[in-house]
Amino acid sequence: MSVCHCLACQKRTGSAFGAQARYGRDQVRTECGSPATHVRTADSGNRVTFYFCRDCGSTLFWELEAMPGAVAVALGAFDDPTFLAPRISIYEARKHGWLRIDGDELEHLD
């Protein structure tokens, strides 16, 4: 699982960061019918396809062109507030100045 501090993630989530858990596509199942989609180009130049609940508009998951077969699931899509803590923090160079990220158990990538 990772936390992303990139600006696009901040805009998409309306938060200071996005939080996700990544799985193989065959490990993910949705129960909200047919999700709506939105495709954008990431800073890397790769495409990302986002899937949203048609009823409430919540982000459910997204697929990254750079990681075929993988799915990133928004942590807020889980009905479990005791879900595992993040292990990796990425794009920290873009985080808000007031945000502090502590923890020796967390891998910091930029």
What pLDDT is recorded for position 6?
60
Query: How many domains in the chain?
Result: 1
Residue 65: give its domain's CATH number: 3.90.1590.10
* pLDDT tens for each residue of 49-99: 999 888 888 888 999 999 999 999 888 788 888 888 778 877 777 778 888
Spatial separation of the C-alpha atoms in residues 99 and 57, rounded to whole Å: 27
Chain-wide mean pLDDT for the chain? 81
Burial code (b: 16+ CB inside 10 Å, e: under 16) for 22-61 equals beeeeebeeeeeebeeeeeeeeeeeebebbbeeeeeebbb
* Residue 33: domain span: 2-108
Kind of pairing, strands 70-74 and 18-24? antiparallel
What pLDDT is recorded for position 4?
54
* pLDDT tens for each residue of 12-54: 666 777 778 889 999 988 777 788 999 988 878 889 999 988 8
